[in-house]
């Protein structure tokens, strides 16, 4: 995962509303298939919610990295 | 030498910035040291939170519309001529009629617009209340609705994130008053895995919905609507039948932003505290137009307008500015026809909704009238 090239970063740290997952949904709708997105969230719940949504809609969940007080969720749009 | 400020957009954010600047820079405007040009595409200014009340016949449409020229300080030049190009490298805004406005400082407040066409079938198969015509059409349809399932669905991104929730609570009270709750099923959906983006609001909503018999489904993102079969299909693979669909369309930023290469979806890169556009130190961005991951709402635009007006005034008068935006948002949330709650939060403080009360509902109704003072930069 460390070698994955990030095409787009969404910095949703501190975003209460609409929140990190909504930011991811917004972005994934607007980018090209094949784009790798990194979602930064300071909300621990995103590490569960975002992968669950990614898998449900059929995109590729690449992984999660721990940051300093935040998490980085990486996803690839595949359809 | 004259400092020229151009504000593009005459919505909540642009109007408040213009009026606050006119007050802060009154002497400079009178002496000709400062010129403020507001460029907008509409003669009318609409109080958009009023759409919700139009749906339920609580407010007449003409109560939420004013002439922009009546709201703007007379020292601000109002140009009703849509901006078609913003040239940040040469500090010029070009309008549809071909006029060019040069600037030393630019405020981009072009807002957002609904794009129902981005979801197949949405325009034909669904009602919405995010513009005046849509609100009136939904009002008229509800008057004649004789029963069945009313589904509420939400496109992403969208502004005023509490409005769909408010609509659902108000639909409940509307049909309760009509004695029709036994004929109507309310079905609320939400794009993420809870009932609202704000977790405390969502936690409060669950027992409310369950006690009222309002059904709900989460992780629900519209992919297409089949108006003939009255079915919504989602990105997540589910289907929902409806008799009446109220679908909040996805939103997009303005065309001038897209055509000027400032953001492919119409959202402009913005520093979350300074509210400046990356690389362009003389360009401020406020309201729905920013790409800051924060609520697209009139309240956000209002508080950002306060900051930008302070910063611009200080830069012009003192040569530097220190005021920053802390992410403040305040939203009233109607929980029916009788009560409301409210939330406020910023980048560091999570929301903590107040218990719903009649007093907060009255405050909300009061603010619906007081808004015109906010727009004028008084409140």
- List B110's β-bridge partners, or say none: none
| φ, ψ at B10 (rounded to 5°) | -115, 30
Are β-strands B222-226 and B231-234 bridged in parallel, bridged antiparallel, or unpaired?
antiparallel
Q: How far is B198 from chain A, CA to nearest CA, in Å?
A: 6
Task: Give the end of a domain, one of B192, B216, B250.
Answer: B250
3-state secondary structure A1-70: CCCCCCCEEEECCCCCCCCHHHHHHHHHHHCCCCCEEEEEECCCCHHHHHHHHHHHHCCEEEEEEECCCC
Looking at B326, B349, B368, the residue that finishes a domain is B326
B241 shares a domain with B123? yes
Q: Is residue B331 part of a domain?
A: no
Number of independent structural domains in chain A: 1
Q: Is residue A40 part of a domain?
A: yes
Assigned domain for A2 exists: no
Q: What is the largest CA-CA distance in chain B?
A: 70
CB B17 within 8 A of CB B286: yes
Give the residue from B250, B276, B292 where a domain finishes: B250
Q: What pLDDT does residue A15 have? A: 85
What local confidence, expressed as pLDDT, does residue A3 receive?
A: 76
Per-residue pLDDT at A6: 95
Cβ contacts (< 8 Å) between A26 and chain B: which residues? 156-157
Collapse the DSSP code of B222 into the 3-class scheme (helix H, G, I; strand E, B; otherwise coil) and give the result.
strand
pLDDT in tens, chain B (379 residues): 899 999 999 999 999 999 999 999 999 999 999 999 999 999 999 999 999 999 999 999 999 999 999 999 999 999 999 999 999 999 999 999 999 999 999 999 999 999 999 999 999 999 999 999 999 999 999 999 999 999 999 999 999 889 999 999 999 999 999 999 999 999 999 999 999 998 889 999 999 999 999 999 999 999 999 999 999 999 999 999 999 999 999 999 999 999 999 999 999 999 999 999 988 999 999 999 999 999 999 999 999 999 999 999 999 999 999 999 999 999 999 999 999 999 999 998 888 888 999 999 999 999 999 999 999 999 8
How far is the CA of B85 from the CAs of B58, B169, B253, B260, in angstroms? 40, 42, 14, 5
CA distance A67 to chain B (A): 18
Find the CATH number of the domain harbouring B242.
3.50.50.60
Local structure of residue B65 (DSSP, 8 states):
E
A17 is catalytic: yes
Q: Kindly report the CATH number assigned to the domain that includes residue A57.
A: 3.30.110.40
Asked whether residue A1 is assigned to any structural domain, the reply reads no
Residues B232 and B282 in one domain: no
Domain count, chain B: 2
Q: Report the residue of A11, A12, A13, A17 to disrupt the B interface, i.e. the one with the largest count of B CBs within 10 Å.
A: A17
pLDDT number for residue B295:
93
Q: What pLDDT, on a 0 to 100 scale, did the predictor assign at position B1? A: 86
Q: What angle, 0 to 180 degrees and rounded to 10, lies between the N-to-C axes of helices A20-30 and A46-57?
A: 30
A79 burial (CB, 10 Å; 0-12 / 13-18 / 19+) is: exposed
CB spacing of A16 vs B192 below 8 angstroms:
no
A14 located within any domain: yes
pLDDT at A2: 63
Question: pLDDT grade, residue A1 (50/70/90)?
Answer: low
Domain housing B276: 3-111+254-326
Report the C-alpha gap between B114 and B127 in whole angstroms: 12
Tell me the pairing of strands B340-345 and B329-334.
antiparallel
What is the pLDDT at residue B56?
Answer: 98
pLDDT for the residue numbered B316: 97
ipTM associated with this complex: 0.90
Give contacts of A14 with chain B, Cβ < 8 Å.
327, 347-348
Residue B291 within a domain: yes
Say if A61 falls within a structural domain: yes
Do B281 and B242 sit in the same domain of this protein?
Answer: no
* Residue B379 domain flag: no
| Judgement on whether residues B286 and B227 belong to the same structural domain of the protein | no
User: Is A26 part of a structural domain of the chain?
Assistant: yes
Q: Which residue range forms the structural domain that includes residue A37?
A: 8-76
Paired residues of B290 in beta bridges: B268
Nearest partner of B189 among B252, B126, B115, judged by Cα? B126
- Band (A57; pLDDT cuts 50, 70, 90): very high
Of all residues in chain A, the one with the smallest CA distance to B351 is A16
Q: Is residue B133 part of a domain?
A: yes
Q: Chain B contacts of A23, Cβ < 8 Å?
A: 293
Task: Decide if B319 is inside a domain.
Answer: yes
Size of interface A-B (CB pairs under 8 A): 69
Residues B244 and B270 in one domain: no
- Alpha-carbon gap, residue A59 to A62, rounded angstroms: 9
- Look-up: residue for tokens 């109080």? B47
Residues B122 and B233 in one domain: yes
Judge if B279 and B231 occupy the same domain: no
Bond preceding residue B56 cis, omega within 30 of 0: no
Distance from CA of A21 to the nearest CA of B (A): 7
């Amino acid at each position: 995962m460390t070698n994955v090239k990030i095409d787009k970063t969404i910095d949703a740290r501190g975003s209460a509303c609409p929140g990190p997952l909504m930011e991811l949904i917004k972005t994934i709708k607007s980018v090209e298939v094949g784009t790798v997105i990194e979602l930064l969230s300071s909300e621990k719940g995103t590490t569960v919610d975002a992968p669950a949504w990614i898998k449900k809609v059929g995109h590729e969940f690449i992984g999660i990295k721990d940051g300093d007080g935040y998490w980085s969720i990486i996803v690839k749009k595949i359809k | 030498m004259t400092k020229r400020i151009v504000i593009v957009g005459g919505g909540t954010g642009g109007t408040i910035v213009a009026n606050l600047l006119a007050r802060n820079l009154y002497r400079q405007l009178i002496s000709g040291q400062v010129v403020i040009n507001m460029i907008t595409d509409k003669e009318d200014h609409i109080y958009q939170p009023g759409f919700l009340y139009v749906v339920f016949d609580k407010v007449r449409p003409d109560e939420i519309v004013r002439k922009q020229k009546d709201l703007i300080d007379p020292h601000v030049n109002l140009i009703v001529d849509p901006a078609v190009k913003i040239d940040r490298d040469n500090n010029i805004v070009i309008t549809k009629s071909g006029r060019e406005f040069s600037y030393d400082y630019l405020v981009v407040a072009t807002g957002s617009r609904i794009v129902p066409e981005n979801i197949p079938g949405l325009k034909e198969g669904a009602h919405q209340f995010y513009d005046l015509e849509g609100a009136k059409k939904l009002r008229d349809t509800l008057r004649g609705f004789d029963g069945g399932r009313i589904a509420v669905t939400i496109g992403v991104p969208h502004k005023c994130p509490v409005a769909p929730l408010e609509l659902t609570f108000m639909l409940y009270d509307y049909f309760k008053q009509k004695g029709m709750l036994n004929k109507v099923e309310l079905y609320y959906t939400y794009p993420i895995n809870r009932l609202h983006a704000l977790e405390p609001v969502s936690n409060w909503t669950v027992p409310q919905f369950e006690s009222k018999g309002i059904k709900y489904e989460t992780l629900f993102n519209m992919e297409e609507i089949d108006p003939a079969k009255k079915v919504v299909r989602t990105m997540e693979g589910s289907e929902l039948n409806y008799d009446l669909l109220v679908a909040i369309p996805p939103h997009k930023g303005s065309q001038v932003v897209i055509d000027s290469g400032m953001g492919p979806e119409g959202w402009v890169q913005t520093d979350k505290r300074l509210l400046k556009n990356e690389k362009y130190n003389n360009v401020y961005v406020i309201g729905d137009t920013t790409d800051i991951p924060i609520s697209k709402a009139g309240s956000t635009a209002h508080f950002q307008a306060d900051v930008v007006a302070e910063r611009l005034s200080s830069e012009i008068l003192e040569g530097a500015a220190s005021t920053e935006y802390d992410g403040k948002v305040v939203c009233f949330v109607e929980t029916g026809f009788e009560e409301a709650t409210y939330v406020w939060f910023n980048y560091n403080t999570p929301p903590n909704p107040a218990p719903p009360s009649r007093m907060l509902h009255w405050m909300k109704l009061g603010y619906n009238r007081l808004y015109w003072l906010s727009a004028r930069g008084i409140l």
